[in-house]
Structure 1
Amino acid sequence: MKVGAVIVSAGKSQRMNGVDKQFLKLCGKPVIAYTLDAFLACKDITPIVLVVPDDSISVYRDWLNKYYGFYEDIVVTSGGMERQYSVLNGLRALPEDIDIVVIHDGARPMVTPKLIENGIEAASKFGAAVAAVRVKDTVKRSDGQHFVERTLSRETLWSIQTPQSFRYDIIMRAHTLAMEQGYLGTDDAVLAERAGYRVKLFMGNYDNIKITTPDDVPVAEALLGQRHYESHVDSVGYRSGMGYDVHRLVDDRPLILGGVNIPFNKGLLGHSDADVLIHAIIDALLGAAALGDIGRHFPDTDDSYKDISSMRLLRQVNNLLESGGYVIGNIDATIIAEYPKLAPYIWPMRRCIASVLGLSIGQVNIKATTTEGLGFAGRQEGIAAYAVASIRKAGE
C-alpha cells in the first residue's frame, strides 16, 4: 500500500493580522515544522506534498533546505484561491499509483504520528475517514433571529479535524465532481459525502487545535510546553551511551543499513540482517540505560533471531527503555564505508529510525564517511558504524 500526504499551507492568514502563521514561532519552532515532523515520522508516507501560496514557493524551498537539509520526500506546489482548490492541486502533484492520501492543515501543529497512522488504517478499511472529537458543549440551533429553535443531542455531534484520509481514487472522484458542479465545501469529507461515499469517524485529539487567530497561539504554546516537559531531554536526569559495530561484506547478501535496502553487489554477513548501523544505535541506547549490549538481549545462538530485521530489534529495545521509564533525546551515528556512496539513502534511514522510535526526524542524525582507502573499510572488506544516544527518565 502506497501512502501520500497533502499538507495545505496556502492560506492568507487574514485572521492573524497579516502574519504568515506557518512560520510563526511556537516555543521557538515554526508551526509548519511541527506538522512536517509528525508526517516525516511516519516512514511509509512518501511523498509529502506541501501546498503553499504561489508567490511563496521559493521561500518555502529555501526554508526546507535550511531546516531539513535534504528533503527528497517533500514536494512543494502552489495553492489555489480557495482551500479546496489547493487540496486538488496537491492531489494532482501525487503519483498516480498512490493508494491512500492523508490531507492535513499545516496550521494544526499538534498532530501526532499515531493520529496520522490511525487515519491511514481507517481509510484502508473504509475508504474515507476523518479525525473527530465529540462535542462537549450543549449545541442549539437558532431560527435565524437569535432565538433557540432546537437543542441538538450531543450524542450524535462531532467536531471535525484533520487529518482526513481517503483512498486516492475516492477523493479524486469527489473533488472532480465538486469542480464540475461548482460546489465549494468546508472540508474534503463533505465532498466525499456528496459523491455518495460513507465517511468513517475516528477519534481525534482535543489538543489537535488549528492556529487561526492570535488567541490560539498561547494555547498552542501551553500544549507544546507540556509535551516538551513529557517528551524532550533537558539537563536533569540526562544520560548518554555509545555503540559500535562492524560486519563483513560478502556476496549473495542484501545490504541493509538503517532499515533501508541499498542496491550494491555485496551485503553484510551476520546472524540477523546484519544492519550495522542499527546494531550500533541499539548498543548506544542500551548503554545509556545501563542495560548491557545487543549480544545479551539478542544472542546469535538463538535461532529466533536468524535473519530477523534489525528494525524489529530496535523496536524491542525502545520498548525496554519505555518500560524502564526512559525517553530518547537524540541519536547521532556515523557509517564508515568506502562504497557504496550513501548520501542518497541518509534521509530514508533517518525517517525509518525516527518512525520506529517515535521520534521527530530532527532527533536522528546520520553521517557517512570513508577511510580514504585505509583499513578493512577502505579495502571494502566490511562496514562499521558508531552511534551515540541520549536518554532521560520521563518526568525529570
Structure 2
Amino acid sequence: MDRPLNNCWGIILAAGSGTRLAEAAGGVRKQYLEYKSAPLFWHSARTFSRVAGVKGVVFVFPPDDAPAMEKQVRQYFKSEDLGIKWTVCAGGERRQDSVFNGLKELPRECQAVMVHDSARPFVSASLITGLIDAINEGARGVIPAVKVTDTIKRVDGDTVTETLKRSELRGVQTPQAFETKLLIEAHEKAVAEGWEVTDDASMVERLADVAVIPGEQGNIKITNPEDLERLAETKTIVPCVGWGYDVHRFGRENDRPFVLGGVPIQGAPTIIAHSDGDVLLHALADAVLGTFGGGDIGTHFPDTDKKFSGADSGVLLKEVLAMASKAKARIAHVDLTVITQVPRLSPHAAQIKKNICRLLGLEPHQVNFKATTEEKLGFTGEKKGIKAVASVTALREM
C-alpha cells in the first residue's frame, strides 16, 4: 500500500440496542442521546471531519432505523456541512456483523479504515491523527489503549484463580485503524470460520501484528446509567467579538432619504441602496453576526431579493438579534464609528445612541457612538459617500 495515506474513511457504529441504558435514558438508544444539541454519532462525525486524510464516514444504524436515519443525516449535513463524503447502511445482529456491513460500503480507493463506537463522543482529532500516523509509519493495524489502574484478577465463580500482571494490561478504546484490505480479509475469515470477537483488533491479531498508541482518559464510552452524567452540559460563558463594516454612496435627489442608526436626518445627502441604506445598522448587524459565526447580512438579506427593497434596517437588525439569541450570544457592548464629511453628526449623536440602545436593549454605558471625518481625503472626504464600522462584544453560552 502506498504511503502516506490520503484516503481514509471512518465507520461509525450506531447500530446497538443500548439495553443497559434504555430505561435510564427514557427509552432512547444511546447513539441518539443528545449532547450539546446533537446526537452522539454526530459528534464523532464532526471529529473525523477535522482530520486531514479522512475522506468520508459510513454511519451504521439499526436495520429498522436506517432509512429514516439516512434522511436525518442528510438534514444534518445540510445544516452543518462537514466537508466529507458519507453514506448510511444497516447494521447486523452482532457488532462484527455491523462492521462488516460498513466495510462493504467503503469506496474501492479507501486505503485505511477506522472503526469507531458512536458511544465514544469525546474522542479527539489528535487521537485519530495519531492512528493515521501509525499506519503511515508502517503499522497494518493500530489501536489506542490506556494503562489499567486497578488490579485485575481472573476468577472462577467466587474464587480468585490468578492475579494478572497489571503492567502488561491495557484498556482498549476506539477508533481502531487498519489497512482496509487487511480488515476485510479478517472479517471474511471470521464469517468462514465462525469467529466470535468483541473488537476488530481481535480478528486482525490472528493475521498480523497490531500496534498500540496511547489512548485518552477522556475517550470514555457511554455504557451504564451513571455514564449519562458525563453528558450533562457544563455551561461555559465565552466572550466573542464581531466586527462590521459597510459603505454607501451618496445619491441624487430621488434616491433613499438619509437614515443613520434608525434616525432620519433632514438636509443630508440621499443614499443609493437596495434597503433603506442605513450604513450604521448594516455594519452593526454584520458585527452581531460575527459574534456567533452567522455570516453577513448580504447572505441573509440579499439585494437581489425584491422583498428587501427599501427594508427598514432596524427590522433586519432585530432578525439578526433573534439569530444571536438562538445561538446563545448575548450582546454586552457595542462600539460604533461613522466616517463621513457630511452631514455634521454631532447634533444627532445623542439621539442615534439612544435609538441604538433601544434596538439592542442595552444601557447607555454599553453603547458608544462617535463620528469622524477623513480630513477631506478619499471618497468620504470628497463627499461621495459614507462608511461605518462596528465592534460588538458578546457573551456566548457554549
Q: What TM-score does the superposition give when structure 1 sets the normalisation length?
A: 0.58
Corresponding residue number in structure 2 for 1:61: 70
SS at match of 2:135: helix
Figure out how many residues of one structure are paired with residues of the other and give that number.
256
Q: Decide whether aligned partners of structure 1 residues 106 and 390 sit closer, same or farther in structure 2, where only a CA change above 3 A counts.
A: farther
Q: Decide whether aligned partners of structure 1 residues 85 and 69 sit closer, same or farther in structure 2, where only a CA change above 3 A counts.
A: same
Displacement after TM superposition at 1:111 (Å): 0.9
Displacement after TM superposition at 1:332 (Å): 4.5
Which string of whole-angstrom CA distances, capped at 9 and with x for unpartnered residues, describes residues 12-46 of structure 1? 12112242112212344322221121112225312
Contact 1:329–1:389 (Cα < 8 Å) also in 2: no
SS at match of 1:208: coil
Question: Which whole-Å CA distance do the structure 1 matches of 2:86 and 2:391 have between them?
Answer: 27
Corresponding residue number in structure 2 for 1:107: 119
Question: Which whole-Å CA distance do the structure 1 matches of 2:107 and 2:125 have between them?
Answer: 22
Displacement after TM superposition at 1:62 (Å): 2.7
Between Structure 1 and Structure 2, whose CA radius of gyration is higher? 2
Structure 2 residue 243 is matched with structure 1 residue 241 = yes
SS at match of 2:175: strand
Corresponding residue number in structure 1 for 2:57: 48
Q: Decide whether aligned partners of structure 1 residues 391 and 201 sit closer, same or farther in structure 2, where only a CA change above 3 A counts.
A: farther
Q: Decide whether aligned partners of structure 1 residues 329 and 106 sit closer, same or farther in structure 2, where only a CA change above 3 A counts.
A: farther
Where does 1:1-396 land on structure 2 (aligned, <5 Å)?
1-17=6-22, 18-69=27-78, 73-125=85-137, 126-142=139-155, 144-195=156-207, 197-221=208-232, 225=234, 229=236, 234=237, 236-241=238-243, 331-333=293-295
Contact 1:127–1:166 (Cα < 8 Å) also in 2: yes
Q: Decide whether aligned partners of structure 1 residues 181 and 243 sit closer, same or farther in structure 2, where only a CA change above 3 A counts.
A: farther
Displacement after TM superposition at 1:61 (Å): 2.1
SS at match of 1:237: strand
Whose RCO is larger (CA < 8 A, sep 6+)?
Answer: 1
RMSD: 3.4
Question: Which whole-Å CA distance do the structure 1 matches of 2:211 and 2:392 have between them?
Answer: 40
Question: Which whole-Å CA distance do the structure 2 matches of 1:33 and 1:134 have between them?
Answer: 28
Displacement after TM superposition at 1:65 (Å): 3.1
Structure 1 stretches of at least 4 aligned residues deviating more than 3 Å after TM superposition: 241-244, 328-337, 388-396
Question: Which whole-Å CA distance do the structure 2 matches of 1:168 and 1:27 have between them?
Answer: 33
Question: Which whole-Å CA distance do the structure 1 matches of 2:206 and 2:394 have between them?
Answer: 50
5+ residue gaps, structure 2: 1-5, 247-286, 300-326, 328-389
Could you tell me the percent identity over the aligned residues?
A: 31
Contact 1:330–1:391 (Cα < 8 Å) also in 2: no
Q: Decide whether aligned partners of structure 1 residues 184 and 329 sit closer, same or farther in structure 2, where only a CA change above 3 A counts.
A: farther
Q: Decide whether aligned partners of structure 1 residues 220 and 207 sit closer, same or farther in structure 2, where only a CA change above 3 A counts.
A: farther
Q: Decide whether aligned partners of structure 1 residues 57 and 394 sit closer, same or farther in structure 2, where only a CA change above 3 A counts.
A: closer
Q: What TM-score does the superposition give when structure 2 sets the normalisation length?
A: 0.58
What amino acid does structure 1 have at the position aligned with 2:227? D
